Each structure stands twice: as structure tokens, then as C-alpha cells.
Amino acid sequence: MGKHPTDRGKTGTKRSVLTDGGGVPLGLAVEGANRNDFKMTRETIESIPVKRPQPTPDTPQGMCLDKGYDDEEVRALLAEFGFT
């Protein structure tokens, strides 16, 4: 039996995928499997290949994330990019 999967030294690949509300992929970042999810947020957002429309009060752009992204650093980054 090998190491427990939550060990920090695990090998492999982690893919952070950003999709629209319909599940269509918009951005992708790839790192080693031992990288924390929330540390990949900036590079995932910046990987979107098309220019995003500017969010406005009338047309805000939301971001839904799982518990792994519940961090003050991520909230500040999302505000920087104009997400709600």
C-alpha cells in the first residue's frame, strides 16, 4: 500500500479549469499535484484566451468556487478581476 493521497509529496498533475455556466471550458492552468488549488487562481483566470467584457453594475460577472478557494487572497484576486 502506497502513501495516503493527501500527502504533500504526491506526484501527478493538477488541472485548474475555468468554465462558463454551461460547462464550456474558458481557461486552464496546469501544475504539479501537490499545488494548492487556490494558488492557481490567478493563472487560471489569466489563461482565458479571449478578452473578457468589462463587468458593470448592470452586467456583473459572478464566480462560483468550491471550499478549496475559500481564502482572503482569492477574494482579493477576484475583486481585482471584477468578479462578484
Q: Measured at the alpha carbon of residue 37, what is the angle toward residues 1 and 30, in degrees to the nearest 5?
A: 85
User: Considering the entire predicted model, what is its pTM?
Assistant: 0.79
Q: Predicted confidence band at 59 (pLDDT cuts at 50, 70, 90)? A: very high
Whole-angstrom distance, CA of residue 23 vs CA of residue 73 = 25
User: Residue 82's pLDDT is what?
Assistant: 92
Mean pLDDT value across residues 51-69: 90
Does residue 47 surpass a pLDDT of 90? yes
User: Residue 2's pLDDT is what?
Assistant: 60
Mean pLDDT value across residues 16-43: 92
